[in-house]
A and B are shown apart, each in its own frame.
Chain A
Amino acid sequence: MQHATLAHSISNEARAAFVAWLMMFRERFYLYGRAYAMDWLLRPIFEISIAAIIYFTAGSDTVSYVVVAMAASMLVFSAIYFVGEILDRERVKGTLPSLFLTPCRRTSWMAGYAFAGFLETSGRITMVLIAGYVLFDVRFDPNIPALLVVLPVFILALSGLALTLSGLGLLIKRANSLSNLISPFLTLLGGVYFPVSTLPDPLRYIARAMPLGYGMDAITAIALEHASLADVQDSLIPLVGFAIVSPLIGLAAFNGLEALVRRRGEVDIY
């Protein structure tokens, strides 16, 4: 009897996640159809072009690094702009209280939404990598098994940031402004346009206190130089540490902030 209840509960949560994914997928597909694809897919290519012109003119081959780092940074920006804004977006649409009252776990529908974001981000990453190959003559030599280990670790390390921002967005009610506030810091300190190791000391110390630079170092080495996990262990070990700690901190922050907003009765106020 208990097994049947558990199975029903799991099936219920899985269905909620699937329906949430399907709904978000349709919403994003609709937006893409309304010409948003032009912005979301092409903008990173212009950003790479800026770095490419700076590096090419100096005869530097760092462009390959920038292409892969820009592709990886799509995950970072998805964590900020997509997952980080989920709750506030629903609030603006007026659907947040209904979602909170839905008889399923919050993590289920949020996971469904986040998966839609992940699929969209995968499309953008593919676009950036193709542009790197075609326009900037970047030649990839990926170690696929190593990449399959590092990418989930990197995503886990980012999950804390996404969850914390999601809670903060709910609290301050300006999630998009918060994302816009955070993202230039992460561009500067995250090793997108240049490896973190080239930053001056004070900024490098700050950058090394975040998972992004480690992730970029590991991913670029694996994607461009066929590096193995052993080769990137200096970046991988701290990244694994962040992947363990970050979701815990993120969940705690999210739960705390959400409880605060509910206590204040501000779930649907903006």
Chain B
Amino acid sequence: MSIAIQQTRSSLLVCAATARAEMRRTLAYTIEVVRWPLFPLLYYVSLYFTYEAAGRDSVGATTPAAFLLVGIFGMTLWSSAIWSGGYAVESERSAGTINSLFLSPASRGAVVLGYSLGAITVFVVPTMVVATGLALALGVDFEIADPLAVGVAFCALLLAALAMSYLLAGAFVLTRRANMFANFIQSPIYLLSGMVVPVDDLPRVLQWFAYIFPISAGMDALRGVLLTGATLDEISGSVMRLVLISVVLMVAGQYLLERVEHAARNAGTLDFE
């Protein structure tokens, strides 16, 4: 029992230290502090004007500004999943510290989670706050019937992003083309997951992607509770789907991280370009 407690404590310490390091790395450069939140915010405004130029005053059951707001939340979490937690092991490789990481007794999962939490603190939360202010300025009306449901939907969305980070952390390194894949997967996901255009507007065959992509379910739930007054009961289906997919992603992520560990320890090739 004491070993389990010790391991948990050690993992928490590793996670906190990694999060702190990630925050300090980001905050060390003013340009990084500014540019990370700026992209989603300006993308939000660009797409808002695109909807305006198209003459669309509604998207699904809501306005473009409201629809895009939750999309930008999803997008911010997705960017964070890619470039922090997802990129964690690759960052260690770039810095030349990957072999040291895999020789240390630190929990790999705690390191990935630490990167994610660091990014959530310095990038995700400030971006969401400013985006919400922007949305209010654009006249978004929130219709919240169940504040608890908002909390649940938000936590579920966060869980999905963390699960994605976990999966990507191993996958990126194993491809040896992390930067390319990280860059490439951004736009298709914006399109296919319901972040910036409604899934119903996509060709049917593409709609299936949104059904299995966890962040889509999280956004559905969050849109419901924030914009149309949905209750916990009404979003329970989306939340359950999201939790199930997240668990599957975590298991797959664990498997990939073990493959990375194998490559590091047995083949000794992980730090090769």
Interface positions of A (Cβ within 8 A of B): 34-36, 38-39, 42-43, 46-47, 49-51, 53-55, 57-58, 60, 62, 172, 174, 177-178, 180-181, 184-185, 187-188, 192-195, 198-199
Contact = CB atoms under 8 A, between A and B. Distances in A.
B25 interface: no
B208 interface: no
A49 B196 CA distance: 11
B51 A47 contact: no
B31 A174 contact: yes
Contact of A46 (B46, B56, B177, B190): B190
A172 B31 contact: yes
A193 B50 contact: yes
Interface stretch (B33-41, B122-130, B244-252, B255-263): B33-41
A116 B35 CA distance: 28
Question: By CB atoms of chain A within 10 A, which of B39, B54, B187 has the most?
Answer: B54
B29 interface: yes
Nearest to A63: B54
Contact of A184 (B38, B177, B202): B38
A43 B184 contact: yes
Interface of B: 29, 31-32, 34-35, 38-39, 42-43, 45-47, 49-56, 177, 180, 183-184, 186-188, 190-191, 196-197, 201-202
A60 B53 CA distance: 9
8 contacts: A43-B187, A46-B190, A174-B32, A177-B35, A184-B46, A194-B50, A198-B52, A198-B53
Contact of B54 (A60, A172, A174, A184): A60
A62 B54 contact: yes
B31 A181 contact: yes
Contacts of A38: 180, 184
Nearest to B57: A58
Nearest to B39: A184
B46 A193 contact: yes
A62 B53 CA distance: 9
Q: Interface majority SS on A: helix, strand, loop or mixed?
A: helix
B183 A193 contact: no
B153 to A, nearest CB: 24
Given A53-B197, A185-B42, A199-B49, A47 B187 contact: yes
Nearest to B188: A46
Given A39-B183, A50-B47, 11 more contacts: A38-B180, A43-B186, A46-B187, A46-B191, A50-B197, A53-B202, A55-B50, A58-B55, A174-B29, A181-B31, A181-B34
Given A36-B180, A60-B55, A177-B29, A51 B50 contact: yes
A60 to B, nearest CB: 5
A32 to B, nearest CB: 10
A36 B183 CA distance: 9
A181 B197 contact: no
Given A172-B31, A184-B39, A54 B50 contact: yes
Question: By CB atoms of chain A within 10 A, which of B29, B47, B52 has the most?
Answer: B47
A184 B50 contact: no
Contact of B180 (A35, A50, A172): A35
